[in-house]
Amino acid sequence: MSDAQARRVQQQFGGSAAAYVTSPLHAAGEDLDRLLAWGVARRSDRVLDVATGGGHTALAFASIARRVVAYDLTEPMLQAARGHLQARGAANVGFVAGDAGALPFRDGSFDVVTCRTAAHHFADVGAAVREIYRVLRPGGSLLLQDILGHDDSEASAFLLEVEKRRDPSHVRSYRTVEWKAFLRAAGLTVMEDFVIWKAREWDEWTGRMRMSAEARRELETFVRRAPERCRAAFDFTLTRDTVVSFTDRQILLRADRD
């Protein structure tokens, strides 16, 4: 990945690590339940959680795995995850720092790789998926969740602008067809995929990334002035003075290595 993108990620997440540990949207949800159900149905002895953030997915998988490696580019995030998981008594989790595009693990060393709410930060998703393929054993599974790209180009460009103003390390989210092409090109076979909706409370969502009051006001003005159909695509709720919430779609995918 480019140094500039790595710096953006580390700047954004380094200062927000504690907020990601306590974030209710990351701690639980239908998406995490579904990933874990896939993990239970597969053999999940050795699990790698790529871009672990506050460690919520690693923690969930620690309850079913023999060993979990929690992996992240941002050292302060990894430290926060370590504190979080130690406090929760998860003794079978190791912590390793690095980039998703260059995994420092031997070929075939994991049964399952998880990656939740993170791939939209990767400078090169194709490279990350190729690395995930390499470290999976034959028959192993990638269990992935991320924000789903919108099929409508205007709606997609609108949400990308909202996301980037809130978090400059956001690169972009991908549509189902794009995900399937990345996975197929890497040699992974999509076994199951579906879409769920996830609601975002505006104050919590903007606050977690430490937006200044001024940047937040400008973003709210941008949202208010956007075409109604773009706001409607994400179910934005506004009052006369503020933005209350919106809802985005998440893709969940299970892809296996032959």
Ligand X SMILES: C[S@@+](CC[C@H](N)C(=O)[O-])C[C@H]1O[C@@H](n2cnc3c(N)ncnc32)[C@H](O)[C@@H]1O
Q: How many residues bind ligand X (CB under 6 A)?
A: 22
171 binds ligand X (CB under 6 A): no
Report CA dihedral (117, 48, 135, 126) to the nearest 10 degrees: 10
* Shortest Å distance, C-beta 247 to ligand X: 17
**Minimum distance, C-beta of residue 165 to ligand X, in the bound complex (Å):** 17
| 48 binds ligand X per the rule CB under 6 A | no
**By C-beta, is 99 or 163 nearer to ligand X?**
99
Rounded to a whole number of angstroms, the minimum distance from the CB of residue 227 to ligand X is: 28
Cβ distance to ligand X smaller for residue 205 or 246: 205
Radius of gyration of the chain (CA): 18
Which of 8, 44, 85, 117 touches ligand X (CB under 6 A)?
A: 117
- Please give the residue whose beta carbon sits closest to ligand X in the complex: 53
* Residue type at position 183: L
Q: Which stretch binds ligand X (CB under 6 A): 36-44, 86-94, 116-124, 214-222?
A: 116-124
- Structure tokens that stand for 99 in this block: 């980039």
Q: Which tokens go with 182?
A: 């990345």
Contact with ligand X (CB under 6 A): which of 34, 36, 46, 52? 52
**Side chain identity at 194, as an amino acid letter?**
F
Q: Which residue has the tokens 């159900």?
A: 37
Taking the least distance from each CB to ligand X, the nearer of 100 and 136 is 100
From 49-57, 150-158, 196-204, 217-225, span contacting ligand X (CB under 6 A): 49-57
Residues 6+ apart with CB under 8 A from 230: 154, 155, 158, 159
- C-beta closer to ligand X: residue 58 or 183: 58
Instruction: Tell which one of 48, 68, 70, 72 touches ligand X (CB under 6 A).
Output: 72
Site for ligand X in 18-47 (CB under 6 A): 20, 26
Residue numbers at the binding site for ligand X (CB under 6 A): 1, 9, 13, 20, 26, 51-54, 56-57, 72-74, 77, 99-100, 116-118, 121-122
